[in-house]
């Protein structure tokens, strides 16, 4: 039997030590089963960019309208499974129109966005409009 605590617990807080005297706070408001479609893939280092794109696109396709598109998709690459999931969450805290500062990753994000939108899942799964607005 689950009961609402009424205080929004548990909250998850990640703290990172950085040099300098500045403080940066990022937050991610989630809810409504937002993590129900999260996926972790452990791909071989020899996986091609096209195989990677197909893996992500297939995952989005399988989720269909259950994620209430249009989607904002965060992807973490590298490190341990825990690290890559955290990187994916951090990617979701970027400004909406921002691109990855690494040119190769920015290009990959654009290719992924185009591929995902070519699935034509559309707004709320109605097959009209975009499926994702950012990757």
Cis peptide leading into 10, omega within 30 of 0? Answer: yes
As to burial, measured by CB atoms within 10 angstroms (0-12 exposed, 13-18 middle, 19+ buried), residue 56 is buried
> How would you write the pLDDT of the chain (135 residues) with one tens digit per residue?
678 788 867 778 899 998 999 999 998 887 767 788 999 999 999 999 999 999 999 999 999 899 889 999 999 999 999 999 999 999 999 998 899 999 999 999 999 999 999 999 999 999 999 999 999
Residue 98 CA, chain-centre distance (Å), reads 14
Structural domain count, the chain: 1
The secondary structure element, H or E, covering residue 83 is helix 81-91
The whole-number pLDDT of residue 51 equals: 98
Main-chain dihedrals φ then ψ at residue 133, nearest 5 degrees: -105, -10
pLDDT at 62: 96
Domain residue limits at 24: 1-135
Backbone angles phi, psi at 44, to 5 degrees: -70, 150
């Amino acid at each position: 039997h689950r009961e609402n605590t009424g205080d929004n617990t548990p909250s998850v807080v990640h703290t990172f030590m950085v040099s300098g005297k500045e403080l940066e706070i990022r937050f991610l408001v989630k809810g409504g089963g937002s993590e129900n479609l999260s996926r972790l893939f452990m791909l071989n280092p020899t996986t091609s960019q096209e195989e990677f794109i197909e893996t992500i696109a297939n995952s989005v396709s399988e989720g269909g309208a259950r994620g209430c598109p249009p989607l904002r998709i965060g992807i973490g690459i590298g490190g341990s499974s825990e690290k890559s999931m955290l990187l994916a969450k951090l990617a979701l805290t970027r400004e909406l129109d921002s691109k990855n500062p690494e040119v190769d990753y920015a290009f990959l994000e654009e290719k992924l966005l185009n591929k995902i939108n070519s699935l034509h899942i559309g707004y709320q799964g109605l097959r009209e409009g975009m499926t994702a607005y950012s990757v």
